[in-house]
Structure 1
């Protein structure tokens, strides 16, 4: 998937319902209430946080190219796609952003330093400049290497075999596999820069960085599936164990103890609107969420009916026709899983 294809994949479900900058916040992994809700509203889980360091100017440049290519119409308020964009196919992708939330970079940094270390050990070279300068990662890798007895050449060969086997078996293209290997540094061999890779493949740097995320997500899925013991150890803390953000988890515990939204806001020293964001997130992820303490069944049905009539999840448009409903109630109703509808 190219970066421009990623933007269109996000824009298609939110067409005429969100601003032109909303895909940027999603790709960056912004944990605002609006972005988290949009993931659930529009099924955008795969794309969340896939490029945490995305530069806004670089994003804007690609958006402008979509305008010039006839994929977008000028609209100061919302995204407005042309027929050309709506008819364009969305490329299949192994992206699983909500599961990893940028932590694929932690996995790869650990891997890079381990590969560099093992390649030098196998050549009996004891000193080298580490490719990763982060002290926490260096400490983690040092502990990991000691646990697997890394000076044993049989372990080095076993690690190499796991790496090659899982990468070969992963459901990603040969180009994706090449991108991973070209970034690795070993004895007498330096990994390529993003610019070098982009130039050699006639792609942009953003394209290559996105394909790297795709490659890592696809590869890590294979590592999980095959339960490769040495590589699986590198994924400690990488996979998100909860579908909720950490702050929503803390609100959930208090909510389950019977505290009201106002009480939770006071206890956590947060705005009530922030706690409402958390409740919407809870509803988005819980198929059995009971919403009836926040609105009647009749109001819930009215909101869903109006959303379907308009074929829109834009809050302002729904509220115009249901003035008695609060924005929180509308957001909550739209977040309820279909099992409760």
Structure 2
């Protein structure tokens, strides 16, 4: 998948219901109520937080390219795709952003430093400048290396075998795997920059970054099967254990203890709107969420029915037809739906 294709895939799901900047926030993994609820409303789980370091200027340049290619119409209010974009094929992708939420970078940083270390140690070179400067990563890798007796010549060899075997199983194009290899450093070889790799393939730096993330997500799925123990250890803390954000989990615990929305906001010293975001997130992820504390059955059915009949999830459109309900109730009902 190319970066333009990623943007179009998201825009097709929210066409004429969200602004042009909404895919940017989703790709970066913004934990706002709007972004979190859109993931559930529109089934955008694969794309969440796949590029946490995405630069707004780079995103805007990509969007400008979509306008130039006739895929977007000018519309100051919402995304307005042309028929050319709507009928375009969305490529299959192994992206699983909701599961990893940017933590593939943690896996890759550990891998990069381990590969660099094995490359030097196996050639009797004990002093080198680490490619990863993070003290936390360095400390983790030192513990990992000691645990696996890294000075035993068989360990680097086995690590390499497991790396190549697991990558062989990973169902992504060979080009994607090569991008991963080109980013790694070893004795006498420095990993290439995004610009260098992109130039070699005739793509943009954002394209090759996305290709690498696809590779990592697909690869980690293979590693999770625990058939490659030297690599499985690198997954520590990488997988998102809860479908909820940490803040929403704290709200959930207080609600389970009987505190109301207003009381939770006061206890946590947060805005009421922030706690409302948490309840929308809870409703989106809990199939047994009880909404009776927040709206009547009649209000719930009216919102869901109108959304279905009008084929819209745009809050303003629903509010205009049902002025008696609140925006929070609309968001909650749609999340439950």
**TM > 0.5:** yes
Q: 1: distance between equivalents of 2:57 and 2:50? A: 17
Deviations 1:95-133 (A, max 9, x none): 001111111011000000000001111111111111111
**2:14 paired residue number:** 14
CA RMSD of aligned residues (A): 0.8
**2:255 paired residue number:** 255
Q: 2: distance between equivalents of 1:296 and 1:90? A: 40
Unaligned segments of structure 1, at least 5 residues = none
Q: Decide whether the 8 Å contact of 2:319 with 2:325 is kept in 1.
A: yes
Q: 2: distance between equivalents of 1:28 and 1:318? A: 28
Q: Decide whether the 8 Å contact of 2:159 with 2:231 is kept in 1.
A: yes
Q: 1: distance between equivalents of 2:171 and 2:249? A: 33
Which stretches of structure 1, 4 residues or longer, exceed 2 Å deviation after superposition?
none
**1:150 paired residue number:** 150
Q: Any residues of structure 2 matched to 1:236-251 within 5 Å, and which?
A: 236-251=236-251
Q: Any residues of structure 2 matched to 1:72-91 within 5 Å, and which?
A: 72-91=72-91
**1:68 paired residue number:** 68
**1:120 paired residue number:** 120
SS of the aligned residue for 2:53 comes to coil
SS of the aligned residue for 1:225 comes to coil
**1:189 paired residue number:** 189
Q: Decide whether the 8 Å contact of 2:226 with 2:232 is kept in 1.
A: no
**2:25 paired residue number:** 25
Residue 334 (structure 2) pairs with residue 319 (structure 1): no
How far does residue 226 in structure 1 lie from its aligned partner after superposition?
4.4
Higher mean C-alpha deviation, range 5-14 or range 218-227: 218-227
**2:52 paired residue number:** 52
Q: Decide whether the 8 Å contact of 2:319 with 2:327 is kept in 1.
A: yes
**1:292 paired residue number:** 292
Q: 2: distance between equivalents of 1:225 and 1:23? A: 32
Q: 1: distance between equivalents of 2:64 and 2:117? A: 44
**1:136 paired residue number:** 136
Q: 2: distance between equivalents of 1:271 and 1:3? A: 35
Deviations 1:271-299 (A, max 9, x none): 11110100000000011111112111111
Q: 1: distance between equivalents of 2:162 and 2:325? A: 56
**2:219 paired residue number:** 219
Q: How many pairs does the alignment contain?
A: 337
Give the TM-score, by structure 1 length.
0.98
How far does residue 203 in structure 1 lie from its aligned partner after superposition?
0.2
